[in-house]
Each structure stands twice: as C-alpha cells, then as structure tokens.
Amino acid sequence: MIKFDTSHAMEKAFKAAQEAALKGEVPVGAVVLSPDGETLSIAHNRVEETYDASAHAELLAMRLAAQKVGSPRLVGCTVVVTLEPCAMCAAAISHFRCERLVFGAYDPKGGGVEHGARVFEKRSCFHKPEIIGGVRGREISQLLKGFFQQLR
C-alpha cells in the first residue's frame, strides 16, 4: 500500500514530459520518491540529446536517485512515470529494487508491464514492485499523440 499521495510526483513527471516534447524528445517524464515520499530525482527522455537509446525517463531518474542515495538499490522507493515502462525499464526497476511503480498511460505497443514481455509476471522475476497503472492516462496519451502527430 502506498503511504503517501503521489499526485504531486505525477504532476512533476508530467511537466518533465512536456519539457521533453519541447526538446524533440519523446514526451515521457519520471520521478523517484524516497521511502518518505520526498523527491529524489526528476528526469525526462534524453535519447536524441545524449545519443543513448537507453536514456528513458525512468531509467535516468533511477540512476540519478541511486547516485543521491549512494547505493544501486533504491529500497523502499517509488518510481512515478507518465507512461507504462518498456521491458528495459521494467527490468531495471527490479534491478534497482524499487518498491512501487506508479505509471500514467498504458502502452499497448511498447509497454513491458501489462503488455509485451510482461516482465514482472515471469517466474524468474526476482523483485516485483507494487504496481498502480492508468493514472491521468487520457491527458498523458493526448500529450504523446500530439507529439507524434507533429512529427509526421
């Protein structure tokens, strides 16, 4: 059970996603919260800027948070991200030992939590977070749709 409200964190993640869009990056934003609900890190996609195909919002946010904590394990921490994580990021959430995942829009094409590889449902998954999906889904889907329509 989540012990604190994550709507502020989702608002920060959403703003980070909007910033990403302005920079020509796929608009996804993420925040990592400490066990007490404090913001440890905020990040958005930076794939094009950094020439790093793994620079997804939640992966960057977890790496930043781990630097802050001084450990590769984010025990008790919550990842709040605007889009359903892909298989890479879902598996990374296990590697970082995050306790909770709160995500916005579902991603039937690229998602790896409720779709595709369904990383956390595999027997071999050694760490499964508590998961809450679909938060502010419509609004976030609109942001993504608008971005991809502009690209065409």
Q: Supply 51's token pair.
A: 């020439």
Candidate segments 11-19, 35-43, 49-57, 139-147, binder of a second copy by CB under 8 A: 49-57
In degrees and rounded to multiples of 5, residue 131 shows phi and psi of -125, 130
Residue 14 or 25: the one with the smaller Cβ distance to a second copy is 25
Is 125 marked as a binding-site residue?
A: no
Q: Supply 37's token pair.
A: 């609900």
CA 83 to CA 76: how far, in whole Å? 21
Based on the shown chain and the rule CB under 8 A, indicate whether residue 83 belongs to the binding site for a second copy. Answer: no
Residue 14 or 78: the one with the smaller Cβ distance to a second copy is 78
Based on the shown chain and the rule CB under 8 A, indicate whether residue 26 belongs to the binding site for a second copy. Answer: no
Q: Whose CA is closest to 46, among 72, 13, 21, 69?
A: 21
15 half-sphere exposure, CB direction, 13 A CA radius? 8
Smallest distance, a second copy to C-beta of residue 55, A: 8
Q: Which residue out of 58, 84, 114, 121 is catalytically annotated?
A: 58
Active site residue 38: no
Q: Which helix (H) or strand (E) holds 79?
A: strand 78-83
Provide CB contacts within 8 A for 13, sequence distance 6+: 29, 30, 31, 42, 57, 80, 81, 82, 104
Based on the shown chain and the rule CB under 8 A, indicate whether residue 62 belongs to the binding site for a second copy. Answer: yes
Is 86 marked as a binding-site residue?
A: yes
Residue 110 or 137: the one with the smaller Cβ distance to a second copy is 110
List of residues contacting a second copy (CB under 8 A): 47-48, 50-55, 59, 62-63, 66-67, 69-74, 86-92, 95-97, 108-112, 115-119, 122-126
| Positions marked active-site | 58
